[in-house]
Amino acid sequence: MSTTSRRPLSSVLPTLLALLAAALFAAVPTASARTEAVPTATLTEVTGFGANPSNLQMYLYVPDNVTAHPAVVVAVHYCTGSGPAMYNGTEWAQLADTYGFVVIYPSVTRSSKCFDVSSPQALKRGGGSDPVGIKSMIDWTVNTYSADTGRIYATGISSGAMMTNVLLGDYPDVFAAGAAFSGVPFGCFATTDGSEWNSACSGGTVTHTPQQWGDLVRAAYPGYTGTRPRMQVWHGTEDDVLRYPNFGEEIKQWTNVLGVGQTPAATDSPVSGWTRTRYGATGDRAPVEAISLQGVGHNLYSWGMADRALTFFGLNTGGPAPEPQPQPGACKVTATTNAWNTGLTASVTVTNTGTTTVTGWKLAFTLPAGQTITNGWGATYTPSSGAVTATNATYNGTLAPNASVSIGYQANHSGNSAVPGGFTLNGATCTSS
């Protein structure tokens, strides 16, 4: 095993991370496998973890405060990416620090750096290829850390989102839930000629009935009658790589697999420009949850979305926390904007309405589509668009009960100058006005 220090990025733009990937691979040399636990608070490559027919690499992140019998999240990268790039470009490791779970980052070694979601071997339980290697990584982690086999989850971006669909189909007895960001249904990318790419599926022209989509999943593990994992899917309406119709086909598939109706039990807009539908139940852990992002392209993932997936998984309702956090409803946010032409300024006031002092705060919110922060004051803002996190400055990091802090930023806009929404303070939902 070998290690590398974590160096978080402020965004997860695949074009940037693709440049990082080669350097990160060079910085993490391969060493012989050992059977003991890996060092904590650092990304570690594990070798010799079990059956691995497609020669994947396994990277593991274990927080200092890993819980007894921890949950496991498998975070799967996009084409041209890598395990280290996924580690650096998403907040899964930071969330692991907060909640004590373990993160596995599978990494492709084939030249395309895309996961196999198309071959007959990949679309069958135990059939070979990438899913078998990922299952071996999970088994190694469960055995090494006595992980909770009832709390194993998969998530991914693009190719990783497609693999999330495949993993939940191949191994329904392993995963409790998945979250797929810009993916396609299980079996949609299937090919028989050895090609990794299916243009009909990527173009959104592969359509089936819900029953047909469900049958594809059920055929991956014939005879299985146990509980099926819940699924959360995300897609941008302007996705030009894996076209938007795939979003509706995923909903068809997983509502059928989970035996719930295709009429939403609840529909809302948690963030301006987002439409969230829930199927089979109305709460945070519905059998199927789908989030459509109006006007957003393929690279929809932004900082803060993983925390929403964590809510769907049910993993951010407990566990150790590195700093005091207000309870839901114990914070209030007032936001206003002053706009002109293609620009605006925003003023945001946060009040701690709870009874506990907050020491060190992060205010998360989502900007309306088309807005990009150009500069700010009172906090550090990352990234500059989408789901943004404002982190306190050195002089205003403490919020006593009933105390307030005012921050602000300047932004460009493309016509929508509305205030941001979806405010949370250290992960707790705030009321807003």
Residue 156 has which token pair? 């991914």
Strand-pair category, 72-76 with 102-107:
parallel
User: Are the beta carbons of 367 and 351 closer than 8 angstroms?
Assistant: no
Identity of the residue numbered 47: T
The CA distance from 129 to 83, in Å, is 17
Specify whether 384 is catalytic: no
Residues 2, 158, 182, 384: which is the catalytic one?
158
Strand-pair category, 362-366 with 387-392:
antiparallel
User: Are the beta carbons of 366 and 271 closer than 8 angstroms?
Assistant: yes
Element (DSSP H or E) covering residue 26: helix 14-27
- Tokens 């690279």 identify what position? 299
The CA distance from 420 to 350, in Å, is 13
Nearest residue to 92 via CA among 23, 3, 8, 5: 8
User: Are the beta carbons of 50 and 140 closer than 8 angstroms?
Assistant: yes
Length of the chain: 433
Q: Where are the beta strands (DSSP E) in 49-183?
A: 57-61, 72-76, 102-107, 152-157, 177-181
- DSSP state, residue 87: H
User: Are the beta carbons of 364 and 374 closer than 8 angstroms?
Assistant: no
Strand-pair category, 404-412 with 72-76:
unpaired
User: Are the beta carbons of 244 and 236 closer than 8 angstroms?
Assistant: yes
Residue 257 has which token pair? 């697999």
- Tokens 């929508």 identify what position? 416
Active site residues: 158
